[in-house]
Amino acid sequence: MARRTGRTGRTGRGAAVWRAVERSAVVGAVLCVASAVLPGQVVVAAPSVPSYAFAHDARSAPAATGTTGAARLEPGATYRSSLQDEDKAYYRLELDGTSNVYVSVTAIPRAGATLSAGDGISVSLQDADSTTCSSDSVTVGTARSPQPLTAWGARELLPGKGLCQKAGTYYVVVEHTGSDSSGSGSASGSGEEETDLSADRPWDLELAPVSESPLAKAAATSVPEAWDSATPTPPGDEPVTVRGGAGFTEAAAVEQGVRSDEIVPGQTLFYKVPVDWGRQLTATVDLGSADKTSGYVVDALDLTLYNPVRASVKETGTGYGGSQKSVSLPPVPPVRYVNRYAPTDPTKSLRFAGSYYLVVHLAAQVAESFGEGPYGLTLRVRLGGSTQAGPGYARQSTPRGFFDVGVPDPEPSASAGAGSADASGDGPSGGDPAMKAVAVGGIGAGSVLLMVLGVWTLTARRRAAAQMRVNAQNPTA
């Protein structure tokens, strides 16, 4: 701009040429501004693993190392906390004597940590007299790939069960299990020893307590033994693109059919499926082939089904040698209230209607053998059985409508759902942040372009008018 204003005395053909040069310079400068603010113009490095997406309204619940001073959890709210390797974490519940209460705990191992197969968490729910009402545990398994780990605790009011049936104070106890191998070593598998800079970082926790109302009238307690256990043919519809979420609260809503997605090694994708009373959910995940087929990763692809309170129902997995692989959940019984009286899982966990979660994880070690991806992923979902009437709760659950299917959430498209897997964990609320940036950048660049061209046009017109006046006053000029 300074150079252009210094040459305003040029006239005739030379001036026209120079004005063309000025116009090109202005437009080029504005386009440079536009390209600087548009995220899509930035060269993207190798894909990174999105972090776990916590509930956007999660409350803080500091972990207590004992029952004294334990933070209180309220059913219906979601909490964020942390767990040190060497500590137990305690949280408090004040429960009535009529409701079932379930508390899920999702632990997120620190990024890049080197884990042993036995590293994980245990969750128990205890009364004020140290009686254990329930206990559950989960580990990363032989893949040793850092991923969200979810276990749960429950206070259930069941006929003939004498423990933990009274109103009063209860405690959720979370503990790290396994050997603490995450303090040193290389996560890359290169064999070179190095200090893990994340060794002193705690594992983040997400806690989600839920209260289930009693029934208005007593119901049967015997579990039907017969159910359709045949393996159905996965749907073969044309895939619809979807973007899996990065956490339970941002799980992508899907229904029966075929969905296509992408996944990078170390990533975990979350999908939720509305399953009504009497329906049977089956699912298959196909992983696309890599550019090479040398090497093999054990437990490379995991598929886990969780019920609405985030209790694991069934899981399956497969290794990967670079060629396409497919893995399917074994058939499970239909969802029925009476399933809670079954002696074992998976039947026991299929006790609620509501949103069931399909969680897919691709082991981080896949990147070492076959590249960083992304890899094509196809999710095939089928709902069998027939819808039945609900059990007749005496009142609403907490949160309200939690065990109702209701109107399903709209399925996000590829462009609208990308924010679910945003590495920032901020989630898709209000639209994809990247697309927002593109829109804002485009609008901003356009505004600058119009403003600059408007000023340039006005200046040119004034110069032309001034030149006409000079010519009129000096005809021989």
> What pLDDT is recorded for position 48?
79
pLDDT score of 303 more than 90: yes
More confident residue, 38 or 340: 340
Residue 468 confidence class, pLDDT cut points 50, 70, 90:
very low
Q: Please answer whether residues 303 and 360 qualify as being in contact, where contact means their C-beta atoms are separated by less than 8 angstroms.
A: yes
Residue 26, class by beta-carbon neighbours within 10 Å (0-12 exposed, 13-18 middle, 19+ buried)? middle
How far is C-alpha 286 from the chain's CA centre? 19
More confident residue, 269 or 45: 269
Choose the weakest-confidence range: 56-70, 216-230, 443-457.
443-457
> What pLDDT is recorded for position 411?
57
Q: Please answer whether residues 391 and 214 qualify as being in contact, where contact means their C-beta atoms are separated by less than 8 angstroms.
A: no
Residue 409 confidence class, pLDDT cut points 50, 70, 90:
low
Q: Please answer whether residues 104 and 81 qualify as being in contact, where contact means their C-beta atoms are separated by less than 8 angstroms.
A: no
Q: What is the mean pLDDT of the chain?
A: 79
> What pLDDT is recorded for position 85?
74
pLDDT score of 438 more than 80: no
> What pLDDT is recorded for position 262?
98
User: In angstroms, rounded to a whole number, what is the distance separating the alpha carbons of residues 65 and 221?
Assistant: 39
pLDDT score of 315 more than 60: yes
3-state secondary structure of 122: strand
Q: Please answer whether residues 174 and 205 qualify as being in contact, where contact means their C-beta atoms are separated by less than 8 angstroms.
A: yes
Q: List alpha helices for 177-236, DSSP H.
A: none
What average pLDDT does range 182-186 have in this prediction? 39
> What pLDDT is recorded for position 268?
97
Choose the weakest-confidence range: 29-43, 115-129, 222-236, 277-291.
29-43
List the Cα angle 48/53/54 in 5-degree steps: 150
pLDDT score of 467 more than 80: no
What is the per-residue pLDDT across 326-355, written as a single tens digit (0 to 9) for each? Answer: 999 999 999 999 999 999 999 999 999 999
Choose the weakest-confidence range: 143-157, 177-191, 249-263.
177-191
Cis bond before residue 346 (omega within 30° of 0): yes
